[in-house]
Amino acid sequence: MSDKRRLVRRRSRYDENSLSDLLSITMANIEDALLEAGAFPAIDYTHLDLLSAAGPFVLSMFSRESGNPITLTTT
């Protein structure tokens, strides 16, 4: 996969306590699946599509039912 085809840029470092980083990681993973399935960025999906797909998953990580909620700190 060429990075030029991606909408979500992969970074070498992420802050595991950052909500924006967690969203970025999840969006990149969803994009990986779409690219593997043959989707084309900006044609078959957009940034907003990736964010909409990632949002519920990330939010579920913060629910009381998940058992181990992530602790966030401000940076």
Locate 23 and state its tokens. 């969203």
C-alpha to C-alpha distance for 70 and 48, rounded to whole angstroms: 24
Given a cut of 90, whether residue 45 has pLDDT beyond it is yes
Give rounded-to-5 percent helix, strand, coil for the chain: 50, 5, 45
Q: What percent of the chain has pLDDT over 70?
A: 76
Given a cut of 70, whether residue 9 has pLDDT beyond it is yes
CA 38 to chain CA centroid, nearest Å: 19
- Mean pLDDT, the chain, rounded, equals 83
pLDDT of residue 39: 96
Query: What integer is the mean pLDDT of 48-64?
Result: 87
Given a cut of 70, whether residue 2 has pLDDT beyond it is no
Helices 19-36 and 47-60: crossing angle in degrees, nearest 10, is 120
- Give me the phi and psi of 45, to 5 degrees please: -155, 160
Tokens 């909409």 -> residue: 52
Query: What integer is the mean pLDDT of 66-73?
Result: 57
Query: What integer is the mean pLDDT of 30-47?
Result: 96
